[in-house]
Structure formats: structure tokens, C-alpha cells
Amino acid sequence: MTEYRIDDLARASGTTTRNIRGYQERGLLPAPLRRGRVAIYTERHLANLRAINRLLSNGFTLKHIGTFLTNPRAMVAEALDLPDLLDLRWAQRRPDEITHDELERALGPVDAETLDALVDARILTRVDGSSRVRAVDDNILRNLGRLVARGMELRTLIVVHHEFTDRLADAVRVLMSGARDEIVRREGPGWIPSTPDEVEWVTDLLATMRSSATANAYAALDRALDDARDAEVKDYLATVEMP
């Protein structure tokens, strides 16, 4: 079995020695082995730390993680009561504000009209209604920048992104409405969970519907992108005069 001192464990897990000590104080990590005055950690500690990192990156709090790790049989609804679940954003953390210079380094020249278009397309959002902005998602901005770097016009990309996300939002509503319809089918309109078992059922249904919808959407999107690419190439070649 691999053994680690605390500095080695921090490097292997991608966290800090301070965090490791804090997790130990909260009971999220088992006590290390002792060899004299030296604390020795094992693969079990590394596995726990990686699990903690994954849960933190997905928006869970240390309170939730403590319930998961110290009471594996606890219901999800007990660790995440329903208000917590509904308030939890499944998307990534809110990006930092972005300056105009940073924006132009990513996307090229951005005048006031283009900035408004980026906001309208929900690529950027204004901070408290001011002139300051932040990206809705850093990945979206980064991917647009990759296409701009390959010569595509930013205004065209904004229009395409706007239309694509609008249609995607409609598709997502269709998928997620299935959970609501199932609740109505089983319990009737206006029903509210009132017992631990009912809360657990609703929590599990919403989480499973979300994860299943994500996996199915990725698969469907991959197929749709391949089909659309092939169709566009075929249509383009049909307009080309072959020698």
C-alpha cells in the first residue's frame, strides 16, 4: 500500500496541507497512522480527498460532504434537504468579472453594439446593471474565442449561439418536464412532499432525471452534430461545379 506524508498527500490529491488538517478536524478524514512524530497517510485518505474535491466542485458544501462520508446510509434528502437541493446550481461556479481588455483578448475587437449583442445572447451578463460584465460561462467564451481565432466573424457566432441556446432551452424543458409530469401522475396536481420518504423520492427523481437527461442529451447532440455536418457538406458539394 502506498504511504504518504502530508505534503505528498496534498500534492497527490490537488489540495493543501491546511485543507487536509481542516478536513481531519471535521471528521471527513480518518486519523493518520503514526510513526513517532510523523503522520502517515494511505490510499484511503487519498480516495477520501479526491471524493471531497469532486463533491466540492459539484457545488456541495462541507456539511453535505460530512453527512455523505460519515453516514453512508443517510438519505440524500437528509444530507440535502429539499430547499438546499432547489437552491443548488448544477452549473459551474459564477465566473469572475471580465475587463474590456480581457474580453478583446479573447474575442477580438468588441464595440458597444457587439457588447450589447453578447449580453442579449446570454454570453455575458452585466454586473448589477452596471457597465461591468462577467461571462455566463467561461467555457462558452473560450470556445467562441477558438472560432474567432480561426477567422469566423464574432457577430455571426453571437447570432448562431443565441439561436442554438434558445432551441436547446426548449429541448431541456421538454426533458425536465417529465419529472414534473411523473409527480402529478403519481400524486396529483399541487402535491407537496411532507414525509422523509416522500422528500427522498422527489429528490431522487429530480437527480436521476437530470443525470439521465444530461447523458442522453450528450449522446443525441453528438449524433445530431455528425448528421448536420454531413448534410451541410453534402449540400455545399452539390453547389460546386466539379471539373
* Residue range 91-140, pLDDT digits in tens: 545 667 889 999 999 999 999 999 999 999 999 999 877 778 988 888 88
Residues 108 and 38 grouped into a single domain? no
Q: Check if the beta carbon of residue 5 is closer than 8 Å to that of residue 38.
A: yes
CATH of the domain at 53: 1.10.1660.10
Distance CA 50, CA 18 (A): 15
Q: Check if the beta carbon of residue 29 is closer than 8 Å to that of residue 9.
A: no
Question: What pTM value is reported for the model?
Answer: 0.49
Containing structural domain, residue 157: 97-238
* Residue range 168-204, pLDDT digits in tens: 888 878 877 888 888 889 888 888 888 878 888 888 8
Closest CA to 183 of 208, 152, 154: 208
Q: Specify the number of domains making up the chain.
A: 2
95: three-class secondary structure by DSSP: coil
Give a yes or no: residue 243 inside a domain: no
Give a yes or no: residue 168 inside a domain: yes
Residues 43 and 112 grouped into a single domain? no
Closest CA to 5 of 29, 35, 28, 25: 35
Break the chain down into helix, strand, coil percent, rounded to 5.
65, 5, 30
In this structure, the number of other CB atoms found within 10 A of the CB of residue 123 comes to 21
Examine the fold and report which residue of 32, 59, 74 is the final residue of a domain before the chain moves on.
74
Residues 40 and 138 grouped into a single domain? no
Residues 19 and 122 grouped into a single domain? no
* Residue range 45-61, pLDDT digits in tens: 888 888 888 878 777 77
- What are 136's three cell numbers? 455566463
Residues 151 and 200 grouped into a single domain? yes
